[in-house]
Amino acid sequence: MTRFIFILLFILLPFEIHAKAASAIKELEKNGGIISPTSDGGLRIEFQLSGRDLNDEGLEPIKSLESVKILNLRDTKITNAGIIHIEGMKDLKRLHLERTQIDDTCIDHLTGLQELEYLNLYSTKVSDLGLSKLKDLKNLKKLYLWQTKVTNEGVKQLEEALPDLKIVRGIDLDKIVPIKKPPPRPTEDLKWIPSNGEIPPRSISGDNTTIIFHNQMKQKVKIYWVEYNGKLKIYGEIAPGGTREQNTFSTASWLVTDIEGTYLGYFRTSTKVGKALIPKI
């Protein structure tokens, strides 16, 4: 990718500044920058992935580059002093400054970027004072201001000055209506019906509900759902002292057997959440 960029520079730039631009690219890449061409023949320079230790001094070589269209400084150690190095980038269209240490003073160095269309100031110390300085950026289309010091009044004034600008301020947590949890569903203790050796009454389709088995026996048991046609369908085993929560329907029959398959007893469900206590016997 770097070789491609060097070729691009030789095409776009006069011979006498080739070496200076190439040296700048090497320095920026050494400081963690990822540099690639944009679709319109410019440069994209990003530090948010491998260059988060970038400081103001490390950004200085960027002054030697022309046609930088996209610059991402998110999460770096850049301050107002570093932004001075980009104030001459007349072709810059997209600038990420989120989660950096900049404040209102930084905006003084951005007012000459007349091609700027996108600016992200999320989680910075920018306030209404800095916001007022953006009014001359007539091409600005999107501005991110979440978790900054700007106020509603400051945003309103900028929107009036730049009616085509979309300002994103994030979620206002004070306006979020908390979702009320539904009240707990009523429960009931299901009756344990000892087995007479026959298959329990077949299940009848009803409303959705839940049955919670608790095995108090000292042995493992199996649980079966009695299907609508009266046949048995096994649903699993429960260890001694174990529990199992099972979705079911009201008016269903659930048979409990020992591990050998001997019928022990059964439960019939209702619309309430059923607590099915398997006795010690």
Listed as ranges, residues in the chain with pLDDT below 70 are 1-18, 171-179
Residue-range domain boundaries for the chain: 2-175, 187-278
pTM for this prediction: 0.59
Contacts of 59 (CB under 8 A, 6+ apart): 28, 31, 73, 78, 82, 85, 86
CA–CA gap between residue 224 and residue 236 (Å, rounded): 8
pLDDT of residue 177: 62
Query: 36 by DSSP, 3-state: which?
Result: strand
Q: What is the pLDDT of residues 178-219, one digit of tens each?
A: 667 778 889 999 999 999 999 999 999 888 999 999 999 999
Fold (CATH) for 187-278:
Immunoglobulin-like (2.60.40)
pLDDT of residue 7: 46
- Bin 156: left if φ > 0, else alpha if -120 < ψ < 50, else beta: alpha
Domains 2-175 and 187-278 share a fold: no
Fold (CATH) for 2-175:
3.80.10
The continuous run of DSSP H or E covering 22 comes out as helix 18-30
Helices (H) and strands (E) in the chain, counts: 7, 16
pLDDT of residue 254: 97
* C-beta atoms surrounding 111 within 10 Å: 14
pLDDT of residue 113: 95
Q: Which two tokens stand for residue 150?
A: 């700007």
